[in-house]
Structure 1
């Protein structure tokens, strides 16, 4: 008796990729807006951009877009043009939407606990949508994989160091309660991605 063969990968249609980019970035942008309003932080370049926004007159969208620019070269070398173009579009959409959403709606009251959990869940679901359609949202992940390929440092350890550095800086800028809620949010975000983006669970490809 032979093992049942896995069904072949199904190629995404172009409009499916477009839908994923739009909805995924909308969810991510809404989650970031909740974090920005509640003065919470997250990891990677998004977290760095939030810290810069809190400490300066610069907006998250502008900082996030600029900080990602140097990493597109690594993205082309390691992930190819398709992934890089989709990632560029995703980052541009997030940068624009995080500027527009506060113009479309007003948070007269926002509980930071709710913002921590709901914002992280939205970012996690949005990220899963982008990952399933071969797009990313930040250069730190690309850089970590590049450094691992070169034998410099393991990707997970490098990302942990970056996130810990962001956390240390946040301790000097934000109340301890908000930093603690940001850690809770990081757990929710990563758990959402881990549960919904397991290898072999999704059979589509872009």
Structure 2
């Protein structure tokens, strides 16, 4: 009799074990993670806040040049797919590409579908950071990411055991330091709060020794 932890569901597309997600579960995880992240980005953008990583670079270019965040975010992530493919595999790269593309698309359409008026920057920072962090957590647990620094953070965690949340936090502060050129001190302080909220969500909840499903 097969071990209960290794039993699969009858239909291949839904087949999963305690150690591996099914295709359907991966699709749901990537879509859900992208939706949460896009909503978090929408909250931050409504309060004119920033964040770290390639999303932060996208915000910086949006605020300084008026370029579309979704388009810039998608383009900024293109150079990272080679590292993802070489170090983390084809499946990770494909899922990450899909997550970035969906998040980029949703950040363009959500403001039209969910218009957000005046929002307190502190509230936007806390809820936006939490939503993006939770979205990234869902993606990480399905072996995907939002690209950019997330790919590098996951690679360093897999290679050296460094906590992905803390790695990304350090990289995020570099990006946020650049925000002094386009934002006020109060906006920067709220943006730092969003980055800390996001990365603490990852650091506390994402550990490969606790969650091993692929």
Matches within 5 A, 1:1-206: 9-143=18-152, 162-205=171-214
Change in 2 beyond 3 A, CA 1:16/1:144: closer
Q: TM-score, normalised by structure 2?
A: 0.82
In structure 2, distance between residues paired with 1:48 and 1:28: 16
In structure 2, distance between residues paired with 1:157 and 1:21: 22
In structure 1, distance between residues paired with 2:130 and 2:154: 25
Contact 1:28 1:122 in 2 (8 A): yes
In structure 1, distance between residues paired with 2:104 and 2:31: 13
In structure 1, distance between residues paired with 2:153 and 2:197: 22
- Residues 18-56 of structure 1, C-alpha deviation per residue, up to 9 Å, x if partnerless? 111111100000001111111111111010001111111
Report the CA distance between 1:15 and its aligned residue: 1.0
Change in 2 beyond 3 A, CA 1:93/1:156: closer
Secondary structure of 1:102's aligned partner: helix
Contact 1:46 1:138 in 2 (8 A): no
Aligned pair count?
A: 196
Report the CA distance between 1:119 and its aligned residue: 0.3
In structure 1, distance between residues paired with 2:110 and 2:157: 37
Report the CA distance between 1:58 and its aligned residue: 0.9
Q: Any gaps of 5 or more consecutive residues in structure 2? A: 7-17, 159-163
Report the CA distance between 1:142 and its aligned residue: 3.3
Report the CA distance between 1:126 and its aligned residue: 0.5
Q: TM-score, normalised by structure 1?
A: 0.85
Q: What is the Cα-based RMSD across aligned positions, in Å?
A: 2.6
